[in-house]
Amino acid sequence: MPTPDLCTEEEVHQLVHGFYAKVRRDPVLGPIFDTHIDDWEPHLAKMVDFWSGALRGTARFRGTPMPKHVALPGLTAELFERWLTLFGQTTATLGNPPMQERADELAHRVADSLWYGYRMYRTAYAEGQA
């Protein structure tokens, strides 16, 4: 369960901004994100809201991530694994082991859910085109 005692808003901010700095520098993920995110500040703010809600229970996040992700062409399991690797590298630097454990667990759930939804949508779309 999310709890305000798990971490501070500053730690959530550090997680999100540190992680996306890694993503943007990554030679594989960086170009994908840069192609689809025109203005990084609103995206980062939305991701801070998401992770604050997931970790601290703030319930500020408003959005539907699945449609945005299923619309992306060419996603693979390897890209999600790379995303998780960068995320885990980031959480390891925060100095808050309970937050790291919870955030990593949630990141795996998010990645699994998005990858499952992506494959289901792509399969249904492909079958509808046949």
Question: Is residue 6 a contact partner of residue 98, using CB atoms and an 8 Å limit?
Answer: yes
pLDDT value, residue 122:
74
Q: What is the pLDDT of residue 70?
A: 85
**Are the CB atoms for 23 and 67 separated by under 8 Å?**
no
pTM of the prediction? 0.91
116 has pLDDT over 70 = yes
User: Is 70 exceeded by the pLDDT of residue 79?
Assistant: yes
pLDDT score, position 66: 85
The mean per-residue pLDDT over the stretch 27-51 comes to: 96
